Structure 1
Amino acid sequence: MFKTIKEDIDSVFERDPAARSTIEVLLCYPGLHAIYFHKISHFLWIHKLKLLARLVSQFARFITGIEIHPGAKIGRRFFIDHGMGVVIGETAEIGNGVTIYHGVTLGGTSWKKEKRHPTIEDNVMIGAGASILGPFKVGHDSKIGSNSVVVSEVPPHSTVAGVPAKSITRDESEVHDRVDLEHHKLFDPNYYEIAALKQRINELENKMKNIENNTLK
């Protein structure tokens, strides 16, 4: 238990340069508070005390602004930075070393009582405001761009961004042992499409000019 608590605290120092001391982390990080409340509510949930589990998670939501369903399965070294507006659904599964930012939704797309929410594998980074909707996997060591809407499976070592999210080629040699927080290196998935459209417009303009010149002759 104490080993897990130490891991959680170390994760904050590893991924947030604003963290100054252990006491500050314990008292002032709502993401950490939400994780500890979830450990309690999940314990109650798997022991069939589901109403009490929901009450604990609801209290945590009021205190932290983070909503984690007691049924969600969360691995070690999970870090929620800032956290306000984060929603994690009942059948969501989160691996080890995952980082998510404020406004992230791990949501479902079905009314049926089955697996409805995503599975986030190890060492994934999910940017602020991103929504991952559906019962598919986000592969390990992947990055989800801020405000993206992901509705299909993401392969390991991938970077996706946009609405709906599209895969961006990522060199596996760029994958580091440390947590990857380099959001500014996320490439715009619409770049090539816009460039192709501009090129096509230029071609059409040149053709129109040629037609006009031939007509005038």
Structure 2
Amino acid sequence: MSILASIRDDVQCVLERDPAARNRLEVLTSYSGLHALWAYRVSHRLWNAHLYLPARWLSQFTRWLTGIEIHPGARIGPRLFIDHGMGVVIGETAEVGANVTIYHGVTLGGVSLHHGKRHPTIEDGVVIGAGAKVLGAITIGRNTRIGANAVVVKDVEPDMVVVGIPGRPVHRSGAEPEAHRPDLDHNILPDIISERLDRILARLDDVEKAAQANGNGHSAAERIEQLPDYVI
């Protein structure tokens, strides 16, 4: 893809995913996520040409301008949208697929001192909510939605919703997102703690009923053993 075509694609991506974007001129001049992404592409070329110091200078200058730090060694696919963007950090060995959406305060960070792969791989169509941290050489499966402020430290399968600290994945409910239109409903998240408390209370109710029951020649302990299991 030519540079001009890539810029058009980036602008169109913003218009599709941000209802606050009114026209192309506004997007070109006012979206720091785009400016950081374009600067990254230049610094990434410098990095691949083994011009490491100029690449780092450009990335740090871009950080000063936009508040977004993308290491020039990271690998980023097409149509990444960084909304607002302040405080976003993408590490050196991070890999980001196509049609990914990242909100402000997100970190794609490492948890190791070795020089190999130590940052996450984000597959196509993933949405990462504000303040979320994805740490380590893990993989986030395609079309997954990570809730705001979640801390993800383990691999996540495709089509999941991740919430909590540490992040706990649950299967997505609802229709698949359309092509080039990631699932931006990152406000619709499961309440894992509430669901598990409900299961515990249901189990306790059954235990109490079994303990109070009479007859059938079984002790209370035997009747409790016969109760169905609850996944907690």
Q: Distance in 1 between matches of 2:47 and 2:63?
A: 16
1:7 corresponding residue in structure 2 = 9
Secondary structure, counterpart of 2:192 in structure 1: coil
2:103 corresponding residue in structure 1 = 101
Q: Distance in 2 between matches of 1:183 and 1:97?
A: 15
Cα drift, residue 186 of structure 1: 1.6
Matched to 2:13, the amino acid is S
**C-alpha RMSD of matched pairs (Å):** 1.9
Gaps of 5+ in 1: 210-217
Alignment of 1:61-210 (within 5 A): 61-171=63-173, 174-177=175-178, 178-199=181-202
Query: More deviation in 194-203 or 127-136?
Result: 194-203
Offset from partner CA, 1:167-197 (integer Å, 9 cap, x none): 11224x6112122111232212222222234
Offset from partner CA, 1:92-120 (integer Å, 9 cap, x none): 00001000000000000110000000000
Offset from partner CA, 1:49-102 (integer Å, 9 cap, x none): 100000000000000000110100000000000000000000000001000000
- Structure with the larger helix share: 1
Tell me the TM-score normalised to structure 2 length.
Answer: 0.84
2:215 corresponding residue in structure 1 = none
Residues 147, 162 of structure 1: 8 Å contact kept: yes
Aligned residues with identical type, % of pairs:
51
Secondary structure, counterpart of 2:108 in structure 1: strand
Residues 146, 186 of structure 2: 8 Å contact kept: no
Cα drift, residue 2 of structure 1: 1.1
Offset from partner CA, 1:131-168 (integer Å, 9 cap, x none): 00010111111111110000011111111111111111
Offset from partner CA, 1:22-63 (integer Å, 9 cap, x none): 111011100000000100110110101100000000000000
Q: Distance in 1 between matches of 2:76 and 2:109?
A: 15
Bigger radius of gyration: 2
Q: Distance in 2 between matches of 1:201 and 1:86?
A: 45
Q: Distance in 2 between matches of 1:73 and 1:179?
A: 20
Cα drift, residue 202 of structure 1: 6.0
Matched to 2:177, the amino acid is H
Tell me the TM-score normalised to structure 1 length.
Answer: 0.90
Residues 123, 141 of structure 2: 8 Å contact kept: yes
Cα drift, residue 199 of structure 1: 4.1
Q: Distance in 1 between matches of 2:127 and 2:194?
A: 22
